[in-house]
């Protein structure tokens, strides 16, 4: 589909920070700084120490800072058995919840449950997991997340060999009867965002690269957005 006929939403670039590198002693202020910097959403990297070898936020942490900003929250659940707590993430103020295909025995039911809760539903795919894993649930998806690192930590190197997989995912989603946003996460920065967007990504998760800009968050968000828009003609 040429961008000339693509729905406006498919032409929109979303720059989304991972909260992972933030200063947890000043979480509210950090969120306000991200909102001021012009981010489109905020992603909470939820890790349980089992699905990935790291442990991060619970729903109460997210709930405690929900009122500090208006920007939408999304929860990336890098956890086993995500069905056990779906309602808590929604109640904590996450309007979009991302479960891992690898963690769901009944992925169709997990996604349908999120929709029943009034949340947007999404699936994340680890680098080894084929796009094929979600072809039977595209009708339930609001977003598909293709990981460009092996999840668990920030600051890892972008896995460029994921770009054909991003393109394959984009082709699958273009055939859906509704817009499904294609998001990538891991090692996204000024040197890698071009390749990810050219491959088809429209939502870019940036953690360490964004927080590392010496010019600050506002400059970083603008720079990443400009680089993403320059990658494909017509992107907004």
Residue 88 near ligand DX5 by CB under 6 A? no
Residue 77 near ligand DX5 by CB under 6 A? no
Residue 151 near ligand DX5 by CB under 6 A? yes
- Could you give the CA distance from residue 43 to residue 207 in angstroms, rounded to a whole number? 9
Nearer to ligand DX5, 62 or 179 (CB): 62
Nearer to ligand DX5, 170 or 209 (CB): 209
Residue from 10, 48, 142, 185 carrying the catalytic annotation? 185
Residue 209 near ligand DX5 by CB under 6 A? yes
Residue 188 near ligand DX5 by CB under 6 A? yes
Residue 45 near ligand DX5 by CB under 6 A? yes
Residue 56 near ligand DX5 by CB under 6 A? no
Out of 48, 181, 185, 223, the only residue in the binding site for ligand DX5 (CB under 6 A) is 185
- Could you give the CA distance from residue 170 to residue 131 in angstroms, rounded to a whole number? 10
**Is position 45 annotated as part of the catalytic site?**
yes
CA atoms within 13 Å, Cβ hemisphere of 99: 33
Residue 76 near ligand DX5 by CB under 6 A? yes
Site for ligand DX5 (CB under 6 A): how many residues? 20
DSSP string, the chain: --TTTS-GGGG--EEEEBSTTS-GGGHHHHHHHHHHTT-S-EEEEEEBSSSSS-B---HHHHHHHHTT--S-EEEEEESSSGGGGHHHHHHTTEEEEEEEGGG-TTHHHHHHHHHHTT-EEEEEE-TTS-GGGGTTSGGG-SEEEEESS-SS-SSPPP-GGGHHHHHHHHHHHHTSSS--EEEEESS-STTTHHHHHHHT--EEEESHHHHH-TT-HHHHHHHHHHHHHHHSTT--
Q: Considering the complex, what minimum distance in angstroms separates the CB of residue 160 from ligand DX5?
A: 14
Residue from 45, 48, 142, 223 carrying the catalytic annotation? 45
Stretch that binds ligand DX5, among 115-123, 127-135, 150-158, 219-227 (CB under 6 A): 150-158
Residue 68 near ligand DX5 by CB under 6 A? no
Residue 20 near ligand DX5 by CB under 6 A? yes
Active-site residues, by number, are 45, 185
Q: Which residues bind ligand DX5 (CB under 6 A)?
A: 18, 20, 45, 76, 149, 151-156, 185-188, 205-209
């Amino acid at each position: 589909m040429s961008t000339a006929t693509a729905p406006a939403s498919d032409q929109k670039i979303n720059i989304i920070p991972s909260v992972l590198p933030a200063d947890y002693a000043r979480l509210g202020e950090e969120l306000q700084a991200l909102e001021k910097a012009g981010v489109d959403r905020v992603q909470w990297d939820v890790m349980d120490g089992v699905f990935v070898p790291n442990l991060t936020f619970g729903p109460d942490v997210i709930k405690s800072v929900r009122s500090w900003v208006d920007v939408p929250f999304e929860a990336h659940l890098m956890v086993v058995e995500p069905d056990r707590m779906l309602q808590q993430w929604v109640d904590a103020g996450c309007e979009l919840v991302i479960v891992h295909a690898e963690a769901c025995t009944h992925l169709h039911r997990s996604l349908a449950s999120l929709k029943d809760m009034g949340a947007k539903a999404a699936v994340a795919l680890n680098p080894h997991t084929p796009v094929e894993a979600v072809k039977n649930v595209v009708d339930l998806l609001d977003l598909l997340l293709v990981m460009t690192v092996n999840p668990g930590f920030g600051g890892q190197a972008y896995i460029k060999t994921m770009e054909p997989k991003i393109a394959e995912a984009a082709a699958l989603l273009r055939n859906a009867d509704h817009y499904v946003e294609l998001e990538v996460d891991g090692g996204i920065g000024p040197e890698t965002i071009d390749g990810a967007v050219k491959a088809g990504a429209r939502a870019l998760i940036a953690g360490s690269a964004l927080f590392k800009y010496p010019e600050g968050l506002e400059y970083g968000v603008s720079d990443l957005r400009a680089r993403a828009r320059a990658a494909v003609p017509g992107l907004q």
